[in-house]
Chain A
Amino acid sequence: MAPERDEEIALSRRYREIDRVEPAGAIDEAILAAAKRAVGERPRSVRPGWRVWRVPVSLAAVLVLSVLVTTQLRERPESELTGESAELLKKQEPVIGHVPSSTGVSEPRESRAVSEIAANPPSSEDLRERGRRAAATRADSAPRAGEPFAEKPAREVATGVVASTAEVPSAAAPALLPASPGNSAPVTLAPSAKRDFARAAPISEPVSTADQATLSEASPRETPERWLARIVQLRDEGRSKEADEGLRQFRKRYPDYPIPENLREKLLPR
């Protein structure tokens, strides 16, 4: 057995002495390129674990994304507001609509704002300053000649909030105020507008003492038209003293405001 094995080894050694020919480089390249192409055509096989969890993980990801996007969209309108526009909107909000009170009972926003002002009455200097700012805002937001009145601020349209006439009067209620300070023509209060004033003012409830105090001073945010409408209303209700005081305060606040003819009789003491 051993000699046979030796002969086998000798033959093997002799065979290995022959030239060790190898394939040409071009053949190598062709085969390797084909091998790469073959696996490149198809994606790598998916691991079984991932295959099992692929659908649940995808659904969970979609769910989480949806919740995040919804949350972001809800929070965005408030957080996007900056500077003057945010201040504007915050000022407008209390005048319009209702917010739930802490007891869960709906309370008119305006009466709440009035209460707040009654608790912390602004000084006359403050009122003058606010009046100047309101006038400046009116001037800024008033449409220029030729601009359509229907054009509202973009913010207003986007949020669906109807601006009060306190800060953007000329855009929201162009018929109630002169378009510019220079326009001294008396403004007529249309009957429908009058109804609107009456509707906007929360007068169905008895006015508290604090409210009475604010009626005479009025909110610095209240428009002259609205203020006048309230005075008329007080006059109608027979609360002449309060109406007189309100008119006095109004004169003090808006000395140059032209009182419409049709309101003048109702406003003056009877």
Chain B
Amino acid sequence: MEVSDEQLMLAYRSGDAGAFETLYARHRGGLYRFVLRSVKERGSAEELFQDTWMRVIDARARYAPQARFATWLYTIAHNRLVDHWRKKAPVTVSLDDPDDPPENVSAGAASDPARQAQARQDLTRFLAALEALPDAQRAAFLLREEAGLSLAEIAQVTGIDEEAAKSRLRYAMAKLREAMDGA
């Protein structure tokens, strides 16, 4: 049976550095993408990502498994993002370099160049729509997709009630769907 995130964090709190490695391996990708697609800039994303983990390390002695570890981790990251947004005016820089378009396309599309090009266009449009979402709606969507949080957990991370979280998520999905349907 797989050791839970909470057990790993408690082990790390007790001095087991190996437990932290496992925990980090589980959450590094999701958290990084959550931060990157929230700030839309790689440099700031890396800084915030690193800062989030450093806060986890520093706060290990105070950690108590009252909620899922992921909820705690993304709460820290979200708070850092809020600080970041407050400091910086909203920018609309593309998430990806123009020279580095999305590579991951479905296997079926890879065999047909025309379909492959269409798939790339769809993903670019999807990313643009995600990028265009208000921060709160995008955060709700990313917390759902990257962290796998429930509505209650999204509400907890973002500091709102569950209904508000549900509303944000619904708006976000509607806009994304609209962008895809309009293609």
Question: Chain A: residues with CB nearer than 8 A to chain B?
Answer: 7-8, 11-12, 14-24, 27-28, 30-32, 34-36, 38-40, 42-45
Contact = CB atoms under 8 A, between A and B. Distances in A.
B14 A23 contact: no
Interface of B: 12, 14-17, 20-21, 24, 28-29, 32-33, 36, 46, 49-50, 53-54, 57-58, 60, 96, 102-106, 119, 122-123, 126-127, 130, 145, 173, 176-177, 180
Contacts of A8: 173
Main SS at interface, chain A: helix
Main SS at interface, chain B: helix
B169 to A, nearest CB: 9
B177 A39 contact: no
B36 A21 contact: yes
A12 B146 CA distance: 10
Contact of A23 (B17, B32, B54): B32
Contact of B123 (A14, A36, A39, A42): A14
A117 B166 CA distance: 112
Given A22-B28, A35-B17, 10 more contacts: A7-B173, A17-B119, A18-B104, A23-B28, A31-B24, A34-B54, A35-B20, A35-B24, A43-B15, A45-B14
A201 to B, nearest CB: 77
Given A32-B24, A36-B17, A11 B177 contact: yes
A45 B15 contact: yes
Nearest to A36: B17
Contacts of A31: 24, 50, 53-54, 57
Contact of A17 (B15, B54, B123): B123
B144 to A, nearest CB: 8
B123 A30 contact: no
Nearest to B125: A14
A32 B20 contact: yes
Given A8-B173, A31-B50, A39 B12 contact: yes
B13 to A, nearest CB: 8
B57 A22 contact: no
B50 A11 contact: no
Given A8-B173, A14-B123, A18-B102, A23 B145 contact: no
B126 A18 contact: yes
A32 B21 contact: yes
B83 to A, nearest CB: 19
13 contacts: A17-B123, A18-B126, A20-B29, A20-B33, A22-B29, A23-B29, A32-B24, A35-B17, A36-B17, A38-B60, A39-B12, A43-B15, A44-B15
Given A20-B29, A38-B58, A14 B15 contact: no
Nearest to B49: A23
A19 B28 contact: no
A19 B102 contact: yes
Nearest to A45: B14
Nearest to B21: A32
Contacts of B20: 32, 35-36, 39
A22 B32 CA distance: 6
Contact of B126 (A14, A22, A23, A24): A14
A18 B123 contact: yes
A110 to B, nearest CB: 71
A173 B53 CA distance: 86
A43 B96 CA distance: 44
Contacts of A43: 15
B173 A11 contact: yes
B96 to A, nearest CB: 7
B1 to A, nearest CB: 24
